[in-house]
Chain A
Amino acid sequence: DARVTQTPRHKVTEMGQEVTMRCQPILGHNTVFWYRQTMMQGLELLAYFRNRAPLDDSGMPKDRFSAEMPDATLATLKIQPSEPRDSAVYFCASGLLTPGLHRTYEQYFGPGTRLTVT
């Protein structure tokens, strides 16, 4: 049963510390997304990659957030320095963009990383 995995599941850190979240997409999927979920803002798209290339990271605060895909099996989201307002659940999702007239895909979500910055 293929699924997206994320580590860590929970992270508590102090303001100013670096946070790294990792995601292993489903093998064979060519698109990876990072989302942030909060009560106030709901689900926000931070960045996404296709074939490991970043296509859009306009949803991320550029001064402190960075997203990379060092290889096809690993995506990372880093926050440096972290701030209390970064407290949220961060989801990774992967999908396979299918060919054809109606190119589309379902996104498969990981279980999320719950980040608390104190």
Chain B
Amino acid sequence: AQSVAQPEDQVNVAEGNPLTVKCTYSVSGNPYLFWYVQYPNRGLQFLLKYITGDNLVKGSYGFEAEFNKSQTSFHLKKPSALVSDSALYFCAVREPGYSTLTFGKGTMLLVSP
């Protein structure tokens, strides 16, 4: 069965500093990995995905994520955080043969001015 873990309920970072939101996964076989962001009172928005190929994936709003197969991780990163990045971030995984995504619990990112 596929599963994903986001070990931090909340991440605090100062504006201008780099940020990392952690995600680890468990699947049988090669994973398809996704990051979504949810702003208050909104639905989830797709940020980026890893399917195959280059381990470093670039997405919307300057975010990127690195796929690390040996550590079964897919951490979300951004070199310089903005206050407007404050939101709830979800990691999701799907393994070939499954039709649905499994989402993590979410990590609240708070960027202070």
Contacts from A to B (Cβ < 8 Å): 4, 31, 33, 42-43, 45, 48, 50, 55-56, 91, 93, 102, 104, 106-112
Contacts from B to A (Cβ < 8 Å): 32, 34, 36, 41-46, 49, 51-52, 90, 94, 96, 99-101, 103-106
- Residues of B with C-beta under 8 A to A104: 32, 49, 51, 94
Closest CB-CB distance, A61 to chain B, in whole Å?
Answer: 18
CB < 8 Å neighbour of A109 from B34, B43, B49, B100 = B43
By DSSP majority rule, is chain A's interface helix, strand, loop, or mixed? strand
Is the Cβ of A56 less than 8 Å from the Cβ of B100?
yes
- Residues of B with C-beta under 8 A to A102: 32, 51-52, 96
- Residues of A with C-beta under 8 A to B49: 104, 106
Closest CB-CB distance, B36 to chain A, in whole Å?
Answer: 8
Is the Cβ of A109 less than 8 Å from the Cβ of B52?
no
Is the Cβ of A91 less than 8 Å from the Cβ of B43?
yes
Is the Cβ of A48 less than 8 Å from the Cβ of B100?
yes
- Residues of B with C-beta under 8 A to A50: 99
Is the Cβ of B106 less than 8 Å from the Cβ of A45?
no
